[in-house]
Chain A
Amino acid sequence: MSEHSRHERAAVSYRTMELVVALVIFVFGAIVVYDSARIGAQWGDDGPQGGYFPFYIGLLTCLSAVIIFAKAAFDAARGRKAFVTTSQLAMVLKLFVPTVVFVGLIEFTGIYAASTIFITFFMIWLGKYSWVKAVPVAIAVNLALFLLFEVWFKVPLPKGPIEAAFGLA
């Protein structure tokens, strides 16, 4: 499938990733255990306390993380393989970073302006399309979204100053 995987450099190996993720899960479990113990994980006067169930969930989370960690530490064969190669990671980031910016933008401009900018940017930057093609596509998509959500199904979408100026917000 990937024609560029012949002599790719690994950005992260499987083992590193397995270990890191297991560690994160362990910390997550530990937080659950800690907070459940804080609010009470015992048998109270009127039944199990609030933290009873999550306490054991947290313990099991930690236990599973420890076992996964140990297994990954000894699994040399799979461990050396690349979790993600540098070029793959670059591709993923090229998509993910603009998406984060896009979500941030929604907070300021509302969905329509943000997604028009996002789609246009993406088509020009990664798709190498010209403005003439990208802008109409972006506007058409937003028009369709507006009709589908706000007009037909009456579901409000996030709006900002631009929509307010049109009296839509």
Chain B
Amino acid sequence: MEEINSLLHGFSVALTPFNLMLMFVGVVLGVLIGVLPGLGGANGVAILLPLTFTMPPTSAIIMLSCIYWGALFGGAITSILFNIPGEPWSVATTFDGYPLAQKGRAGHALTAAFTSSFIGALIAVVVITFLSPVVASFALKFGPPEYFAVYFLTFAAFVGMSKGQAWKTISSMMIGFALAAVGLDSVTGQLRLTFGFMELLQGFDFLIAVIGLFGIGEILLTLEEGLAFKGANARINLKAVIETWRELPRYWLTSLRSSAVGCFMGIVPGGATPASFMAYGVAKRFSKDGDRFGTGQVEGVVAPETAAHAAGTSALLPMLTLGVPGSPTAAVLLGGLLIWGLQPGPMLFVEQKDFVWGLIASMYLGNIAGLIVVLTTVPLFAAILRIPFSIIAPIILVICAIGAYTVHTSMFDVWLMLVFGVVGYVFKKLDYPLAPLVLALVLGDRAESSFRQALLGSQGELAIFFSNGLVGTIMTLGILMLVWPLVSAALARLRKAA
């Protein structure tokens, strides 16, 4: 098995003392990010990205991906102890996690959450290990039309799966594309949408957008809800861990189902949040204790956590193999690759074997590191949550400002971050999804250039996107995704009428 060999090689790359240290640093920072309001996976990684500019790319991605794992773990802590989801994908964890904590079984709930997160991630990493070389070698045959079709499908999937108003998804996505177009057009050398502002020459950096939209916006929202943190006590003792671990094998089927849901939702750009809700719903329907869900069932913690972590992890598969991130955080990591001078996509598996397999190996190790860190340090992080918001808020704002500044050492970016913060606050409240905006901003240039190259090859004939079976199938899938909201609305209306 070639994958096994590559993976073993990857372990030899990842297992240096320096990289192991970065893993633990990353996980601790990540949990911190996941626990604090206003800092989340995507903008946390964005803020810390400049720290890695001087590192070798493999070490850099190991640290950043570990920050991401840490954030995924961290979200569960606030959900269970404080009934406040630190991350959107841990909302479903509050349903049974908080009731468990109220019954004095916080330790059990946390152990169950962390362990299932770990299992979900592990399954997703195994999927990545064996599936990504296949996808990558398949994608080597892609030309510009196929690439554009993949981008099209990605964005169409956002529209098809948006749970709110599909038009708002489109709106937010188009704003992202338009912002991506700002600046110097690399093909024609023309200035687009700069209106004479020198600062806009370079265009909008999506890292600034991420920090503003998710960071500042989130803090403004948190503040609105008032901030009396009233948490359950957090203590994980060995007894609770062992008791829970003895109980968990009972839910193997739930874990497996949730992992499947998670992996699927992560690879197609659905994301961890819908995956966690879906897994919770599925588990509730199939469980013997389904009607007792919501009152503090361990199984109700297992399902969403497994799915969220599986989705969060597998979102890296399309990012690595196709250069199409499945989530905002994966998009930030992709931005990192570009900054370190690596071109994400199938060629990465040919030219940067050390990097790819080092990263994949670090996913195994990083999640083990994550599990150890969270199981041993929960009281510490719970204590951080008890720090009053009037101290935490200004510190987070300072960190956001520094993060925005360090991307290009530019004060203009800090002002821009504030503008994006207001946009994020308003958009969140009006249910405009932010992920499509960020992804469009990241992928805009590449989507456009593959669109142009495809059209150049065909002399402007749009038929190029249906010229062979592969590209035609992807485009058709994309179109189906686009019209899905209309179809499902029509179906719902029919059902109501009947």
Contact across chains for B188 and A50 when beta carbons are under 8 A apart: yes
Q: How many residues on the A side are at the interface (Cβ–Cβ under 8 A)? A: 68
| Contact A47-B429, Cβ < 8 Å, known A67-B167, A96-B220, A119-B394 | no
A23 at interface, CB cutoff 8 A: no
Q: With CB as the reference atom, state the residue of chain A lying closest to B448.
A: A53
Cα A100 to Cα B216 with chains together (Å): 12
Q: Please, which residues of chain A bring their CB within 8 A of the CB of B432?
A: 21
Per the 8 Å Cβ criterion, residues 122-169 of A in contact with B are: 122-123, 126-129, 137, 141, 145, 148-149, 153-158
Q: With CB as the reference atom, state the residue of chain A lying closest to B449.
A: A53
B5 at interface, CB cutoff 8 A: no
Could you tell me the distance in whole angstroms from the C-beta of A154 to the nearest C-beta in chain B? 6
Contact across chains for A50 and B170 when beta carbons are under 8 A apart: no
Cα A20 to Cα B187 with chains together (Å): 36
Q: Please, which residues of chain B bring their CB within 8 A of the CB of A32?
A: 178, 181, 193
* Residues 386-400 of chain B, each 1 if its beta carbon lies under 8 Å from chain A, else 0: 001011011101110
Q: Please, which residues of chain A bring their CB within 8 A of the CB of B451?
A: 53
Chain B binding surface, main DSSP class: helix
Contact across chains for A25 and B397 when beta carbons are under 8 A apart: no
B223 at interface, CB cutoff 8 A: yes
* Residues 177-188 of chain B, each 1 if its beta carbon lies under 8 Å from chain A, else 0: 110010001011
- Contact-size category for B: 35 or more
* Residues 449-469 of chain B, each 1 if its beta carbon lies under 8 Å from chain A, else 0: 001100110001000000000
* Residues 14-46 of chain A, each 1 if its beta carbon lies under 8 Å from chain B, else 0: 100110010001001101100110010001000
Could you tell me the distance in whole angstroms from the C-beta of B340 to the nearest C-beta in chain A? 15
Residue B53 contacts which of A51, A103, A155 (CB distance < 8 angstroms)?
A155
| Contact A155-B418, Cβ < 8 Å, known A49-B188, A64-B167 | no
Could you tell me the distance in whole angstroms from the C-beta of A126 to the nearest C-beta in chain B? 5
B414 at interface, CB cutoff 8 A: yes
Could you tell me the distance in whole angstroms from the C-beta of B66 to the nearest C-beta in chain A? 16
Q: Please, which residues of chain B bring their CB within 8 A of the CB of A36?
A: 192-193
Cα A145 to Cα B190 with chains together (Å): 40
Residue B402 contacts which of A83, A137, A149 (CB distance < 8 angstroms)?
A149
Contact across chains for B226 and A145 when beta carbons are under 8 A apart: no
Residue B460 contacts which of A43, A54, A115, A145 (CB distance < 8 angstroms)?
A43
Q: Please, which residues of chain A bring their CB within 8 A of the CB of B405?
A: 106, 111, 157-158
| Contact A2-B226, Cβ < 8 Å, known A28-B175, A28-B178, A111-B402 | yes
Contact across chains for A145 and B398 when beta carbons are under 8 A apart: yes
Q: Please, which residues of chain B bring their CB within 8 A of the CB of A126?
A: 390
Q: Please, which residues of chain A bring their CB within 8 A of the CB of B181?
A: 32, 53-54, 57
Cα A128 to Cα B391 with chains together (Å): 11
**A-B contacts, CB under 8 A, total:** 178
Q: Please, which residues of chain A bring their CB within 8 A of the CB of B409?
A: 156, 158
Most buried by A among B187, B388, B401: B401
Contact across chains for A92 and B224 when beta carbons are under 8 A apart: yes
Residue A17 contacts which of B54, B168, B430, B456 (CB distance < 8 angstroms)?
B430
Cα A36 to Cα B188 with chains together (Å): 13
Contact across chains for B390 and A84 when beta carbons are under 8 A apart: no
Could you tell me the distance in whole angstroms from the C-beta of A59 to the nearest C-beta in chain B? 9
B297 at interface, CB cutoff 8 A: no
Contact across chains for B401 and A111 when beta carbons are under 8 A apart: yes
B19 at interface, CB cutoff 8 A: no
Cα A122 to Cα B393 with chains together (Å): 9
Contact across chains for A18 and B430 when beta carbons are under 8 A apart: yes
Contact across chains for B178 and A2 when beta carbons are under 8 A apart: no
A10 at interface, CB cutoff 8 A: no
Contact across chains for A92 and B425 when beta carbons are under 8 A apart: yes
Could you tell me the distance in whole angstroms from the C-beta of B129 to the nearest C-beta in chain A? 31
Cα A123 to Cα B393 with chains together (Å): 9
A4 at interface, CB cutoff 8 A: yes
Cα A111 to Cα B404 with chains together (Å): 12
Contact across chains for A1 and B397 when beta carbons are under 8 A apart: no
Cα A14 to Cα B426 with chains together (Å): 11
Cα A91 to Cα B227 with chains together (Å): 11
Q: Please, which residues of chain A bring their CB within 8 A of the CB of B225?
A: 1-2
A80 at interface, CB cutoff 8 A: no
14 new A-B pairs (CB below 8 Å) besides A50-B187, A106-B401, A153-B54?
Answer: A2-B225, A2-B226, A17-B430, A39-B190, A43-B460, A50-B190, A54-B178, A57-B177, A60-B174, A91-B223, A91-B226, A102-B401, A111-B398, A123-B390
Residues of A within 8 A of B (CB): 1-4, 14, 17-18, 21, 25, 28-29, 31-32, 35-36, 39, 43, 47-54, 57-58, 60-61, 64-65, 67-68, 71, 83-84, 88, 91-92, 95-96, 99-100, 102-103, 106-107, 111, 115, 118-119, 122-123, 126-129, 137, 141, 145, 148-149, 153-158
A-B contact pairs, 21 of them (CB 8 A): A3-B226, A25-B171, A28-B175, A50-B190, A54-B178, A58-B174, A61-B171, A64-B168, A68-B168, A83-B430, A91-B224, A92-B220, A92-B425, A106-B411, A118-B397, A122-B393, A149-B51, A155-B50, A155-B406, A157-B402, A158-B405
Give the 5 A-B CB pairs with smallest separation, nearest first. Answer: A127-B390, A64-B171, A122-B394, A50-B188, A61-B174
